[in-house]
Amino acid sequence: MRNNIKFTKMHGLGNDFVVLDETEYNKVKNDIVNFVKKICTPHFGVGADGLIAINTNVDKNIADIGWHFYNNDGTTAQMCGNGMRCFAKYIVDNKILGDKKSFRVLTKAGVIVPKVLENGKVEVNMGIPILEPSKIPFLANSNLNVEVEIWSKKFILNAVSMGNPHCVVFLPDNSNDNPKTLATDYGPDIEKHELFPEKTNVEFIKVISPNEITLDVWERGCGITLACGTGACASVVAGILLGKLNNDVLVHLPGGDLNINWQGSKDKTDFPVIMTGDASYSFNGVFI
């Protein structure tokens, strides 16, 4: 299946990925699900939340480059914000598109436009959020304020898609619950709840102020991770629509911080979400 596969390990706020260039990906693509599971498994492999591979075989009228993105269980995902920042930095640093610092990336969620800034951070135009329940998909009449009960505990669900489905849960102001504990204990059941026919990522949010939140996430196909870029975007959008947040928000995740800006409102939602944050290298290696 494999023969000395060269890879780069990267992370966005601790959300970590194995990155393959196109040549290495072509060596394993015929058995990619098994390869992803093996290389992403801790202790037996490299260990990662997912795998990203470069795809240059795209219509250049639509995008400059594309990617293949896999969760660590071998399933594909439409989008990943932290992964996109890592991907963009890899493309720029390796001059795969020459001297371009901003470019169009074809994903299963459509075309995403990242930009590597002079300070090394990566700004990503994540596109316009999807709020219509049937398109998220979310089997409810509204995407906001839907109450469910799981193991005798009630939750208010807010569904937003950033190309991949998210369920955002805001903790009440007087709550003593720990968001990470909630993500661990209830994330798996909400992920697979019947309201989400394609499963969902789950975010638990504590509002510090209208411009600052903390976020803990259970990611679809991954479990607990240190950060989720699309989750941060979806959470800010939901918070703005609910009147809890302003348009520019600092999001504290276990792995670090993201800045999320959305100029939308409940009356006008067709604005793109702009995410800015770090992308870092861990090491290069060979998987034998």
- List the catalytic residues: 80, 228
Cα separations in angstroms, 7 against 54, 186, 194: 12, 34, 38
Partners of 256 in beta bridges? 253
Burial 248-268 (b: 16+ CB within 10 A, else e): ebbbbbbbbebbbbbebeeee
How many beta carbons lie within 10 A of that of residue 87, not counting itself? 28
Give dist(CA 243, CA 220) in Å, integer. Answer: 27
Peptide bond into 137 cis (omega under 30): yes
Amino acid at 42: P
- Give the residue from 188, 168, 185 showing the smallest Cα distance to 231: 168
What's the half-sphere exposure (Cβ side, CA atoms, 13 Å) at 93?
15
Amino acid at 202: V
Q: What does DSSP say about strands 165-170 and 201-209: parallel, antiparallel, or unpaired? A: parallel
What six digits make up the tokens of 189? 């059941």
What's the half-sphere exposure (Cβ side, CA atoms, 13 Å) at 115?
9
Beta strands in 21-89 (DSSP E): 50-55, 65-71
